Structures are given as structure tokens and as C-alpha cells.
Amino acid sequence: MDNHEIKYAPTYEVTFCIGSREGYNGPAFTREDVLNRINKFQHEFHKSMPVKVSDAVTFTMKDYSENGWEVSAITYPNSPANREDVDSFMNGLAENLLYHFKQNRITIRHLLHPIYGNILTTVMLEMKDAEKTYRK
């Protein structure tokens, strides 16, 4: 067991969820579509930033329900990034996905201690008239 290394980083996480349809009633897209778009954005960003994409997110409001994914990034010890880098990456990624997948809104949570639920900031990005921007 002497042949291992332990790395630490201050705990910080930024997370948001994205639905699986364009707008409320537009065409559906897949997890693979989201992963491909995230990978493209990662190649364009100035710093390596690993991302976790989790399944089984469901949005529900009155009579509407939609499945989706949770996307998160942390101050990962193997690829050190400060909070500003994580914020910049995730804010940019959320905006990119908002427009590419024609989402009505994406809400980003900035968590200092996710275990304890200490939310520093919640930011909502909203695309006006997303319903009118469907692909033909």
C-alpha cells in the first residue's frame, strides 16, 4: 500500500440540470447528444475540466413532466482548478447547452460544501422564446 498518492483540494461543486426536450414540446435529444456537446465544449475551454453526468433527473410541474440529466464539476484534485475556473467553465457550459438544445432555462447551483447543502449562489439562465427556436 505504499505505492499510492493522496491529493486534496478544497471542496467546491457547481451543478445544473438539463431536460431532454427542446423547449417544452419540441424534439427529444439523448444523453449521447449531451455528452458529445459537453466534450466539444471541454476541447474549447482553456483548462481541463472533468464533468459528471448523472441520469434519473425528472422535472415535474403540475401536469408537465420531463426526464433529464444532472451535470456537475468539482475542484478535482487530479486536475486542479480554482473556484473561478469551475464557475467560468460551468457557466459557459450551461449557456452553451441552453442555446444548443433550446432549453427554456437552466439553473446553476454553486455549492461550497455539498454534503451540508451550503449553496453560495443559484443562477438561472433563461432563453426568451425558446419555443420559437425549434429546429425545423
pLDDT at 123: 73
Query: The whole model's pTM is what?
Result: 0.82
Q: Give the pLDDT mean for 87-93.
A: 94
Q: Give the pLDDT mean for 26-38.
A: 95
Q: Is the pLDDT of residue 120 over 90?
A: no
Q: Which domains does the chain have, with CATH numbers?
A: 13-133 (3.30.70)
- Own/partner pairs for 5-10, CB < 8 Å, 24+ apart? 7/77, 7/78, 8/77, 9/74, 9/75, 9/76, 9/77, 9/80, 10/75, 10/83
